[in-house]
Structure 1
Amino acid sequence: MQQTRTAASLPIPSHDLSVVYQAALAMALGLFIVGFVGFSHIDAVHNAAHDVRHSNAFPCH
């Protein structure tokens, strides 16, 4: 008797997991950077981010 496999029982290819891990790490890094710069009390960090926003034509105020 031959067993049939369903989609739920198939292993997930490691390449797909790698893409998911990379996307999750990229989002976490982005949130960390935005949160650090957005709530930083260090003037140099705030001013650097402010200048980058203006040089990219992104309105910030």
Structure 2
Amino acid sequence: MQSQATIAGTTRATLLSKGIQLASALFLGIVVLYGSGFVQSSEVHNAAHDMRHAAGFPCH
């Protein structure tokens, strides 16, 4: 049987891991969304532009 300290430590580690995963996914999403808006390829730029409008973000 695990002690209370071990269970609390495991819970904290799990929450920290989930927080890091969430922050990483958010950062990657921002990089992909806004990074693709500055790409010179017109197709990628237009796709990102259309998605910004679909999501309700004004861009001009």
> Percent identity among equivalent residues?
42
Q: TM-score, normalised by structure 2?
A: 0.59
Q: 4+ residue stretches of structure 1 with deviation over 6 A?
A: none
Q: What stretches of structure 2 of length at least 5 have no aligned partner?
A: 1-7
CA 56–25 in structure 1, closer or farther in 2 if over 3 Å, else same? closer
Tell me, yes or no, if the aligned pair for 2:33 and 2:48 is still in contact at 8 Å.
no
Normalized per residue, the structure richer in helix is 2
CA 46–15 in structure 1, closer or farther in 2 if over 3 Å, else same? same
Tell me, yes or no, if the aligned pair for 2:36 and 2:48 is still in contact at 8 Å.
yes
Q: What stretches of structure 1 of length at least 5 have no aligned partner?
A: 1-9
The total of aligned residue pairs comes to 53
The structure with higher relative contact order (CA 8 Å, sep 6+) is 2
Q: TM-score, normalised by structure 1?
A: 0.58
